[in-house]
Structure 1
């Protein structure tokens, strides 16, 4: 496809000028369901895509988002961190979220295991529920913590939108994972 350096010498030379972690700026040219194309201010034109920069959906935001439109618009000027050069598509993979503080690490700095938090159930899954304890931060409450009796489904015990007081049982910074238990269950262990 684009694997011939003689056809796009500028494009092939471009990655040699880039270093992982540097900030590149450009304009959002197209939004697809798999990511966002960016025409870089200092980058060459791309023969196929509307921009040599590309941001995948997970790299747009630390939050869980439904669509790229929740974060960026076509025509918006963005600054993003360079991750790597994709030699298959000849595009610079970028991260927008890397330029912003990770809300999970901020949360972890001010939260301790054993701390009580108030939250709201956002999502039911077969093995438990996700509870949002602050803006953009959700923790998992296992089904076994919710009830000691067997139930057919999580919805037999709790519904999305329910308010909950929970206790933090684990904060995993590496995996950005928060585990919770219900308050009443934790009082038995004191």
Structure 2
């Protein structure tokens, strides 16, 4: 009580004989008097969104009620609670001073802000720099990361030191991730990113950690007709070739003997750091039975065995030691 306020006279007398006044309309009129002569279409103004209406939003610009169409709001995926708590810059899209009609847009403002941010990112970008970004899209060959106005490509080969079949095994759209700037070209708007490079290369000291002859345990991660890939530690896999599974001369099928997830004990028989290849063996963990075959199975000795297979020219027999011999068809009967 006692405060002085400016009001607008709406009517000199209502049905009860009172003077009709409006504070709200006075504020709007004052706003138009302050801005009406100074603003034009394309100018920038500041204001707050006060409510959502059909087709858009109502914004308050210095007391002037303005309409912000949904299509020009740039409020995609932004909650209403967040929208109402901030002050925004708008561009005057349409202005009718006679009818006191003001239509706003944020599209141009947001676009300009993005361009400014993009330019700042290009200025600040350095090779070897760590940056936080959001996964924008995923393809078979990698993931596109939004660094805040500039998109970079995280190639599948730079995601992990371990072998992955598809980027979706590690990332999904919307994930926030820290990446390393491997290279960039502003003229071509290209940025190459790395994720695995943030952690130490597990192959860096491979010769010290796994010298030839080392016996270790690992987990089967993939089984192929020619052998088994074994992960001996995170980021390091070796190949257990089918020829290194057993001393037996017969062909073995790894897919019948192993499955993903199996734990196996193996010996390191070769390491190639440059090509990131490790050769593994299971049969080297046992003494080669053929070294003792001459002494154990003398010519003329009688032995027992189990028939393992037939061919047109004979039969294969497994002896007690796991060795295989062949009975030729010409030696089966007189």
TM over 0.5: yes
Equivalent in the alignment of 2:241:
142
Q: Deviations over 1:61-99 (max 9, x none)?
A: 112234333323433333322223368963201111111
**Counterpart contact for 1:119–1:131, Cα < 8 Å:** yes
Contact 1:120-1:163 at 8 Å conserved across structures: yes
Q: Provide the rounded CA distance (Å) in 2 between the counterparts of 1:184 and 1:54.
A: 44
d(CA) in 2 for partners of 1:92 and 1:106? 30
Q: Cα RMSD between the aligned structures? A: 3.4
Match of 2:192 in 1: 93
**TM-score computed with the length of structure 1 as normaliser:** 0.69
Structure-2 separation of matches of 1:163 and 1:149: 24
Indicate yes or no: 2:161 matched with 1:65: no
Contact 1:113–1:171, Cα closer than 8 Å, also in 2: yes
Q: Which has the higher contact order (CA 8 A, sep 6+)?
A: 1
Distance change (3 Å), C-alpha of 1:53 and 1:123: same
Alignment-derived partner of residue 170 in structure 1? 270
Instruction: Measure, in 1, the Cα distance between the counterparts of 2:272 and 2:259.
Output: 24
The answer to whether residue 142 in structure 2 is matched with residue 35 in structure 1 is: yes
Distance verdict in 2 for CA 1:88–1:170, change over 3 Å: farther
Deviations 1:2-26 (A, max 9, x none): xxxxxx9x98998786543333332
Could you tell me whether the CA contact under 8 Å between 2:270 and 2:279 is conserved in 1?
yes
Distance 2:234 2:120 in 1: 43
Q: Which structure 1 residue ranges, 5 or more long, are not aligned?
A: 1-7, 46-50
Structure 1 position 126, deviation (Å):
3.2
Task: Output the CA distance in 2 between the equivalents of 1:128 and 1:52.
Answer: 40
Structure (1 or 2) with the larger CA radius of gyration? 2
Q: Single out whichever of 137-146 and 107-116 deviates more from structure 2.
A: 107-116
Residues 91-137 of structure 1: CA deviation (Å, up to 9, x unaligned): 20111111112234366543322111123333222332212223443
Could you state the TM-score of these two structures normalised by the residue count of structure 2? 0.43
Q: How many residues align?
A: 172
Alignment counterpart, residue 255 of structure 2, candidates 155, 159, 165: 155
Give the aligned partner of residue 181 of structure 1.
281
